[in-house]
A and B are shown apart, each in its own frame.
Chain A
Amino acid sequence: MPLAIFLVLGIFGKKYFKNTSGIIGTLALLASTVISFIAAHQYFFVDGKVNGVYQKIIAFKYTWLAFSPNVSIDMGIIIDPISIMMLVVVTFVSLMVHVFSLGYMKGEVRFATYYAFLSLFTFSMLGLVLSSNLFQVYMFWELVGVSSFLLIGYYFDKPSAVAASKKAFIVTRFADLGFLIGILILAFYSGTLDINTLIERLTAVQSTHFTSIATAGFLGVSMLTWGLTLIFIGGAGKSAMFPLHIWLPDAMEGPTPVSALIHAATMVVAGVYLVARLFPVFSMDASVLTIVTYVGAFSALLAAVIACTQTDIKRVLAYSTMSQIGYMMFALGVSKQVGENGLGFMASMFHLFTHAFFKSLLFLGAGAVIHFVHSNEMKDMGGLRKLMPITHIAFLIACLAIAGIPPFAGFFSKEEILMAAFHSNKIIYGVALFTAALTAFYMFRLYFSIFWSKESHHHNSHGEGTVSMKLPLIILACCAVGVGFIPFSHFVTADGSALETHTDMLFSIAPVTLTILAILLAAAMYKNENDKPAKAAAAFGALYKAASRKFYMDELYLFITKKIIFPLIGRPVAWVDKNIVDGLMNLLATITAKMSVLIKGLQSGKVQSYALYFFGGIAALAVLFIYLWK
C-alpha cells in the first residue's frame, strides 16, 4: 500500500527530485489518504461487522523469523477499529502538513531531504499502527524514533536543535528498553508474539499462560504487572508522560510543520495507541491500570501548570500536548473492558481523534505566525488579528475546541472523558476538571497574546502566507468543528460492539462554566497590555518561578546523569574497555611485532647463512623421512 511509495520517496527523493519533491510527496500522500478513507469506509460501513461486533482482520501475514515453532516474528497487517482510525488520522494530518510545508519550507536548501524524512516518518507511523505482531510494533516504534530524530534535528547547524534531537532520541530509547523487556516478558509467558494470540492467551483466565504469568513473581509483584508496567514505560517515554517528558519541549527546535505532525497528532499518541492495542491484557491487571491513570493525570496537571508560564508559543503548545495526552492516558486507565464500562477506552480514542485535528491546526497556525513574525516569543507578537485574518479565525476555532466549548470537537471528546472519570474515580475527576480549566486559561492567554494584546508594529512585509499555508488551516478548522459530531462510539470501542452514548447536558454544565470563567480571566489579563500578569506572577511567587523553570526537571536529570551515572558507572566501564579490552588487543599486536623482530634476523642477506639453513632443513627432513617415518 502506501508503504512502498514512502520507501521509494524516502530513499530516492533526496537525490533525484530536487524541487518537485514537495509536490511528489504531497501527491503520494494524497493518494494514500484517499486509500485510507476508502478503507475506512469499507471497514466501518460495509464489511467489518460480524454480529454487530467489529472483528479484527488480519489482512496479511508473513513469517519472517521463527525462533521456535510457537514464537515467531511475523510481518502482518491488522485491521481493526483503532488501526483504521489511526490510519485515517495519520494520513490526513500528514497530508495537511505536507501541503503546509510547501509554503513554509519554501526556499530551504534541503527541501527534498525534508520531504523524504516526512515520508519516512509517515511510513513508520503507518507501519506501527498496522502491525499485527508485537515485535513488529517495536521495530516500527524504533523507526518512528529515528525519523523523529532526523526531523527534530533538521536544522543541524543549530546546536540547540542537535541537542534536542539527541535528547529526544535518548529519552525515548531509554523508555524503549523497558518496552523491550516488557515484550520479552509477555512473549515468554504467552508463548507468542502475535498480538491477537497474545491477547487471547493472556485474557482467558483459565488458560495456563495467564496463570503462569499471574503467579510468577519478582520482588513480590506478579510478572503480569511487571510486563505491563514495562510496556507502559515504553509508551510513556514516547508519549512524554512524567517523568519522561523532558524531551518534548526541546523537540520544538524542529520546523513547525514537523511539530504539527509528530508532536500533535501521531508520534506522541503512539504510547496511547500501544496501551489501547494491548488493552484487553491491561485490563486484566488493576494495579497497572491504576499506574496508568495516575501517571496520566499527574502529567496532565503538571503540563497545564507549566504551560501557564511559558513565553515561547511552541513550548506552550508542547506542554498542552503533554497535557492532552495525559487526558487520553488516564481515560484508558479508568476504563474497563466490556460494555458500559468501556467508556473510558472509547473516550480516549475519540479524544485522540479530535485532538489530532485541533492540535495540528494549532501548530500550523503557530507556524504561520512564526513565519510572519520570524520569532517564537510571545512578546514579539501582538495585534496580529488584523494582519492575519484567516490564521486568526482558525486559531480561535482551535482554541475553542481544545478548551471544550460546544459545539466544537473538543467538547464532545472531553465530556466523554470526564464522564468516564466521574464514574470511576472522583479524585481523578476533580483533577481533570481543574486541568480543563487551566487548559482553557493558558490557551486563551496564548491566543490573546498573539492576536490582541498590543498594537502590532509589523508591517505587511510578505503577506500572511501562501495559499498552501492557508489551505490546511481552513480544512483543519472545518474538521475541528465537524468532527465532534461523528458518532464515534459506534465505531471504536473496547470490545468492538457499538456503545450508545449520549451527552448529558446537566453533567456538562460544570466543566463548561469553569471553562468560560477561565477564558474571561485570560481575556481580562491579556487582552490589552497591562501589568496584571506581572502582578499575578508576583502573587504566586515561588510557584510561578518553579513552574516557569519547568519545575527544575531538567536540572534534576542533568544532576543525576552528570554526578552519579557518569562517574560511578560510565567511567569504570570506559576504563575497563580501554585498558582491558583494548589492552588485550594491543598486547597481541605487541607480541606479534616483537616476534617479527626476532625472526627478522634470519633474513640477513648473507647467502651462506641461507645455504646453511637450507642444508639444515634438508638434513632434518631426511632424518625425519628415513628414520622416523613409520
Chain B
Amino acid sequence: MSASAVIFYLIAAFILGAGLLAVTSRKIFRSAIWLLFSLVGIAALYFWMQVEFIAAVQIVVYVGGIVVLIIFSIFLTQQSGKEMPAPPVKRKIFSLLAAVFGIALIYNLINGYRFIEQPARPFSAAVSEIGTQMLSTSEHGYILPFEVVSMLLLAAMIGCIVIAMKNKENIISEIPGDKIIVK
C-alpha cells in the first residue's frame, strides 16, 4: 500500500463520516459544520487528484460561499439553538432501504464493467490551460456555456432579491424581470 492510497482512504473516510453526521445530526448548526468539514474533505480529495484549480474553486465557492449562506439563513430563521424533531420511523426505514438498495445496484454495475484505464499518459490540469480552453471558440471551447452561466448568475441574483424581498402591498408580481413598483 502506497502512501497515496492510505491518504486516499483517510480522506474518503473523513468525507463519508462528516457527510453521515451532517445528515443525521440533531442540531442544525452542528449539521452545517459537519457539512463544512465534508466539503473541505472533498477539496482535499481534489488536491490529492492533482486538480488544484478545482480544489481552490471548491473551497472558495462552496465552503466560503454556500456554507456561509446556509449559516446566515439558519440565523435568519432563528433555528440555531433548538433541537430538530426526528423524522417518523417509517420514513427513516424506507429511506434507509432505498439508499442501501441504490448503493447495491450501483456497486453491482460498477463491478461488472471493465473500465479501461489509461494511467500512462500524464494528466495536466494547469490553470492556464483551463483558462485558455474556457475562453476559446474552437470546437472544444467552452465560451458559450461560460456566457450562458454568467447570464444565469444574473438571473439568479435578481430572482433571489425579488423572492426574498419583504412583501409590501404595492408589489404586483414576483416574476423576476418584471417591473416592480415599490413604495
Chain A positions near chain B (C-beta within 8 angstroms): 608-609, 612, 615-616, 619, 622-623, 626
Contact = CB atoms under 8 A, between A and B. Distances in A.
B94 A626 contact: no
B94 A612 contact: yes
B105 A623 contact: yes
A608 B91 CA distance: 9
Contact of B98 (A612, A622, A623, A626): A612
B75 interface: no
A615 B94 CA distance: 11
Contacts of B94: 612
A619 B101 contact: yes
Contacts of B95: 612
Given A608-B91, A609-B91, 12 more contacts: A612-B91, A612-B94, A612-B95, A612-B98, A615-B102, A616-B98, A619-B98, A619-B101, A619-B102, A622-B105, A623-B105, A626-B109
Interface string B94-128: 11001001100100010000000000000000000
Contacts of A626: 109
A626 B101 CA distance: 15
Contacts of A619: 98, 101-102, 105
A206 B98 CA distance: 89
Interface in B63-113: 91, 94-95, 98, 101-102, 105, 109
16 contacts: A608-B91, A609-B91, A612-B91, A612-B94, A612-B95, A612-B98, A615-B98, A615-B102, A616-B98, A619-B98, A619-B101, A619-B102, A619-B105, A622-B105, A623-B105, A626-B109
A609 B94 CA distance: 10
Nearest to A622: B105
Contacts of B105: 619, 622-623
Nearest to B87: A608
B84 to A, nearest CB: 14
Contacts of A616: 98
- Closest 3 pairs between A and B when the two form their complex, measured CB to CB: A615-B98, A612-B94, A619-B101
B32 to A, nearest CB: 20
Contacts of A615: 98, 102
Contacts of B109: 626
A278 B12 CA distance: 105
Nearest to A623: B105
A608 B92 CA distance: 11
A103 to B, nearest CB: 75
A526 B102 CA distance: 112
Nearest to A615: B98
A612 B97 CA distance: 11
A622 B109 CA distance: 11
Contacts of A608: 91
A587 B183 CA distance: 61
A626 B102 CA distance: 13
B23 to A, nearest CB: 13
A616 B97 CA distance: 10
A328 B51 CA distance: 117
Contacts of B102: 615, 619
A205 B135 CA distance: 107
A428 B105 CA distance: 103
A609 B88 CA distance: 12
A606 to B, nearest CB: 9
Nearest to A616: B98
Contacts of B101: 619
A273 B91 CA distance: 86
B78 to A, nearest CB: 22
A622 B95 CA distance: 18
Nearest to B95: A612
A608 B105 CA distance: 22
A79 B89 CA distance: 93
A71 B91 CA distance: 73
A626 B105 CA distance: 10
A619 B99 CA distance: 10
Contacts of A622: 105
A612 B95 CA distance: 7
A619 B105 CA distance: 9
B85 to A, nearest CB: 13
A532 B105 CA distance: 115
A611 to B, nearest CB: 9
A400 B56 CA distance: 128
Contacts of A612: 91, 94-95, 98
A623 B109 CA distance: 11
A609 B90 CA distance: 11
A626 B109 CA distance: 9
A615 B101 CA distance: 11
Contacts of A609: 91
B50 to A, nearest CB: 33
A626 B107 CA distance: 13
Contacts of A623: 105
A625 to B, nearest CB: 12
A466 B102 CA distance: 101
Interface in B136-160: none
Nearest to A608: B91
A127 B17 CA distance: 97
A623 B102 CA distance: 10
A608 B98 CA distance: 13
Nearest to B102: A619
B172 to A, nearest CB: 28
Nearest to A618: B102
A617 to B, nearest CB: 11
Nearest to B106: A622
Interface string B41-66: 00000000000000000000000000
A608 to B, nearest CB: 7
A623 B98 CA distance: 13
A627 to B, nearest CB: 9
A629 to B, nearest CB: 14
A604 to B, nearest CB: 11
B59 to A, nearest CB: 30
A612 B101 CA distance: 13
B176 to A, nearest CB: 23
B164 to A, nearest CB: 20
B109 to A, nearest CB: 7
Nearest to B94: A612
A47 B17 CA distance: 115
Nearest to A606: B91
A616 B94 CA distance: 10
B56 to A, nearest CB: 33
A622 B98 CA distance: 13
A602 to B, nearest CB: 14
A24 to B, nearest CB: 65
A509 to B, nearest CB: 110
B102 to A, nearest CB: 6
Contacts of B91: 608-609, 612
A106 B98 CA distance: 88
B111 to A, nearest CB: 13
A257 to B, nearest CB: 74
Contacts of B98: 612, 615-616, 619
A608 B109 CA distance: 27
A612 B98 CA distance: 8
A626 B108 CA distance: 11
Nearest to A609: B91
A495 B95 CA distance: 97
B87 to A, nearest CB: 8
